[in-house]
Amino acid sequence: MLELKDVCFQVNEDAKDKEILKNINLKLDDRFVAITGPNGGGKSTLARVIAGIVRPTSGKIYLDGVDITDYSITERAKAGISFAFQQPVRFKGLTVKDLITLASGKDISVAEACSYLSEVGLCAKDYIDREVNASLSGGELKRIEIAMVIARGTKLSIFDEPEAGIDLWSFQNLIQVFEHMHEKINGSILIISHQERILNIADRIVLIADGEVRKVGTKEEVLPELLKTSEACSTLMDKIAR
Ligand SMILES: Nc1ncnc2c1ncn2[C@@H]1O[C@H](COP(=O)(O)OP(=O)(O)OP(=O)(O)O)[C@@H](O)[C@H]1O
């Protein structure tokens, strides 16, 4: 279980303190949790705080009862947290097989590596020996990154807006990948998304706005609140536009 107690994150901008996360309290033990909310609400910051990319200004983070607040990214990775970036990283000189083997942490066969690619809907023989460089499309890279996360098989896998920057066709396939992961994965998935189809497969949704947790619940409980928030935003945008 992941637990956040009074987590705050503050930056100093133009000599003024800016609170980006305000006393976040969460207990998450569901298999598939989606974090959603308006742009700039603090979702990515929260994911980065959980993965250890940034340290909270105050508060505590526990993974299965262990205080990981002061763990580095590497220590958190060893404790069982994987993080997939919004823009996946390219690794020039490494093949897809190399990356999946590294991710799995053991010497796996080509057939095993291929099985991870098949899980994300990629035809393994076409990709296994390809270099992870700029010749791969955004959608392909994203799926290879997801295959790596599956190969790592950690307790907690965090995805920051996996839908960002991919076309509609790739997005439809990506949804199927997540639906499949929801059924198959051993650990938990924490996914930041604005997409209703992703929210629809979540066991729990966390709505974050203005650095605060506004609501935690099932989609039936959270979506109406989310619609209210987006209506409020559109009304504001209308007023600004007028
Ligand atoms: N290091 C930083 N310094 C200054 N401001 C920051 C920093 N990190 C985040 N912010 C600000 O904090 C707010 C929340 O950012 P964050 O990226 O977490 O939002 P988000 O909910 O993920 O947004 P989006 O949906 O647009 O991806 C934004 O206003 C952002 O500009």
The closest residue, in CA terms, to atom 27 on ligand 1 is 39
- Residue 234 pLDDT more than 70? no
Q: How far is the CA of 45 from the centre of ligand 1 (A)?
A: 6
The closest residue, in CA terms, to atom 25 on ligand 1 is 39
DSSP state at residue 93: E
Crossing angle of helices 138-152 and 110-119, in 10° steps, is: 120
State the pTM of this model.
0.85
State residue 232's pLDDT score.
Answer: 55
Question: pLDDT exceeding 90 applies to what percent of the chain?
Answer: 45
- Residue 23 pLDDT more than 90? yes
Give the contacts of 103 (CB within 8 A, at least 6 positions apart).
148, 149, 151, 152
Strand order in the sheet with 81-84: 81-84, 156-160, 188-192, 32-36, 204-209, 212-217
Q: For residues 49 and 69, what is the distance between their CA atoms, to the nearest angstrom? A: 9
- Residue 237 pLDDT more than 60? no
Give yes or no for a contact between 136 and 90, defined as CB atoms under 8 angstroms apart.
yes
List helix spans (H) across the chain: 43-51, 73-79, 96-104, 110-119, 124-127, 138-152, 168-184, 196-201, 219-241
pLDDT tens-digit map of 84-136: 877 777 777 889 999 899 888 888 898 998 998 988 888 888 999 999 888 88
Q: Are strands 188-192 and 32-36 parallel, antiparallel or unpaired?
A: parallel
Crossing angle of helices 96-104 and 110-119, in 10° steps, is: 90
Mean pLDDT of 127-149: 87
Q: What is the ipTM of this complex?
A: 0.96
Going from N- to C-terminal start, the domains of the chain cover 2-241
Q: How far is the CA of 130 from the centre of ligand 1 (A)?
A: 34
The closest residue, in CA terms, to atom 16 on ligand 1 is 42
CATH topology classification for 2-241: Rossmann fold (3.40.50)
